[in-house]
Amino acid sequence: MEVGKSCLYSRRARSGGIHALSSDLLCRIFGSLDHFDLARSSVVCKFWYRTILNSNLWKHLCYKQKQCPVDLSEVHTPNKSWSICLQELAVEQHITYLSAGFAEVSQWRGHSSGVNVCRMKMGLLLTGVGDKVLRLWSSRNHKCLEEYQVPDVLPLIDFDFDENKIVGLVGTHVNIWKRQGKRSILSNKGCVTRTYCMRYMDPEAVIGCGDGTVRVFDMYGGRMSRIIRMHHAPVTCLALTDDQLIVSGSSLGSVSVSDIVSGQDVASLRRSTATGISCLSVNPCSHYVFAGTTSGYAQCWDLRKHQQVWRTRVSPNVLYAMDHLPGDTFCLVVGGIDGVLRVVSANSGITLSAFIPGIDTRRDSDDRLVKKFKAKRATEDDLLTIPRHERPTITCLSVGMHKVATVHNDKHIMMWRFNC
């Protein structure tokens, strides 16, 4: 055992850099981090993970931050318990930053024309639609890591991604790009009507169509596997739950839930009204469904009881996007045509904080330097005096830990970073 450890340390030492440090030195460095940075460090490599786990740094942070009263002698799996406790602390910090902190905005030119869709996960940000190019960015330093060309003939409607591939709805086709850059097109011949949106849950892509149906596309089989009638009007937005349910909203204002496997109706959360559904989000932790409308209302239902929890008008105009951090059952981030980034209570619909970029977004530069500035807190009275070019329309947003990415149907991307 000692020989094995010595060989392992020798390999690390020869590699140079921080990996040449011993466990004791790493523990001293890790001991100066907060729980959020410690959690990020623990996923860098197996050696760092074991060092952090075996040193009880998570345990000490939990005691320090939360004065956790758990008796270690009574915990059956203490390492797992402290790991979960650390994750909860990180989410609590995220909630505090969004609801009571300030925001710094980084803006950069990401495309040559309109950008109106973005997805953020795993420290990566995927943007595109306008200029026939999908770009994958580092959410930390805003560098473009990969590019994917979209076929010229058909428009890009929607997309999503995971660690291996990018799935895009291009016209009536489903495209799959491998993360190494190779592209294969799967022909969606069964979808002859106009498409509006797509959600992806491996191995299937769920497509919202103009004839009121939701079509499930088997990506591995390359064929349409199911067609589910959910509305009598175009399906404008979709959300998927962890327990195989499809939540869809229509242009006439109805919200329906169906089983993705059987296609059977589960519930009608909202019947047709004068205002259409423009965005949807599902929180698997709270089992809440959130919807934004074309008249600026946000609504919430309990998916287990099929009952409305709250309904409030959070914006005077259309809400185009809403999202939340996985594991966060308190904050819902919404944005729309008035260009205000709002943090709303997921339990009551009350607006907790609201921000605008606060700069003249008409000014342009030929380079791709990242501009940084502080966002302004805004009240509803402020919006009457703030020029529209200082609060460009938010067409899509995506929430990460301590940050929110927004696109505005122009060539710029904004990353909002929150702190206290």
pLDDT tens, the chain, 420 aa long: 344 444 444 444 445 556 667 777 888 787 777 766 777 677 677 788 778 777 767 666 665 655 544 444 443 344 555 667 777 778 888 999 999 999 999 999 999 888 999 999 988 999 998 888 999 999 989 999 999 988 777 888 999 998 888 999 988 888 888 887 555 655 555 456 789 999 998 889 999 999 999 999 988 877 888 999 999 999 999 999 999 999 999 999 999 999 999 999 999 998 877 789 999 999 999 999 999 999 999 999 999 999 999 999 999 999 999 999 988 999 999 999 999 999 999 999 999 999 998 776 655 554 568 899 999 998 877 777 888 788 899 999 999 999 999 999 888 999 999 998
Q: Are residues 129 and 201 in the same domain?
A: no
User: Which residue, of 72, 98, 124, is where some domain finishes?
Assistant: 98
30: CATH? 1.20.1280
Q: What's the pLDDT score for residue 222?
A: 78
Residues 324 and 353 placed together within one structural domain of the fold: yes
The DSSP-derived string for 394-408 is --EEEEETTEEEEE-
417 belongs to a structural domain = yes
Residues 40 and 13 in one domain: yes
Q: Give the pLDDT confidence score for residue 51 in this predicted structure.
A: 81
CB 324 within 8 A of CB 333: yes
303 and 392 co-located in one domain: yes
CATH code of 345's domain:
2.130.10.10
Are 45 and 115 contained in the same domain?
A: no
170 within domain boundaries: no
- Is 248 found in the same domain as 294? no
Domain boundary among the residues 274, 309, 328 is at 274
367: amino acid identity, one letter: D
| Same domain assignment for residues 284 and 416 | yes
Dist CA 240 CA 254 (whole Å): 16
In a domain? residue 174: no
Q: In 308-388, which residue ranges form alpha helices assigned H by DSSP?
A: none
Q: Compute how many other C-beta atoms are within 10 angstroms of the C-beta atom of residue 243.
A: 10
Q: Which of 274, 297, 328 is the last residue of a domain?
A: 274
Tokens (6 digits) for 116: 């109106």
Among residues 199, 204, 254, the alpha carbon closest in space to that of 230 is found at 254
Residue 252 belongs to domain spanning: 155-161+187-274
What does each C-alpha distance from 132 to 58, 112, 385, 402 come to in angstroms? 45, 10, 37, 30
Confirm whether 171 is domain-assigned. no
Residue 199: CATH number of its domain: 2.40.10.480
Q: Which residue has the tokens 């291009």?
A: 170
Give this prediction's pTM.
Answer: 0.83
Q: How many domains does the chain contain in total? A: 3
Identify whether residues 296 and 403 lie together within a single domain: yes
Does 401 lie in the same domain as 297? Answer: yes
Residues 285 and 420 in one domain: yes
Task: Verify that 303 and 359 share a domain, yes or no.
Answer: yes
Same domain as 363, residue 221: no
- The β-bridge relationship of strands 245-250 and 255-259 is antiparallel
CA distances from 52 to 31, 33, 74 (A): 9, 11, 22
Round to whole Å and give the CA distance between 244 and 261: 7
What phi, psi does 30 have (nearest 5°)? -65, -30
Residues 336, 340, 345, 350, CA torsion sign: negative
Distance of alpha carbon 312 from alpha carbon 294, whole angstroms:
13
pLDDT for 8? 45
- Spatial contact of 334 and 342, defined as CB atoms under 8 Å apart: yes
Q: Do the beta carbons of residue 394 and residue 401 sit within 8 Å?
A: no
Helix, strand, coil: what percent of the chain each, to 5? 20, 40, 40
Residue 124 lies in a domain: yes
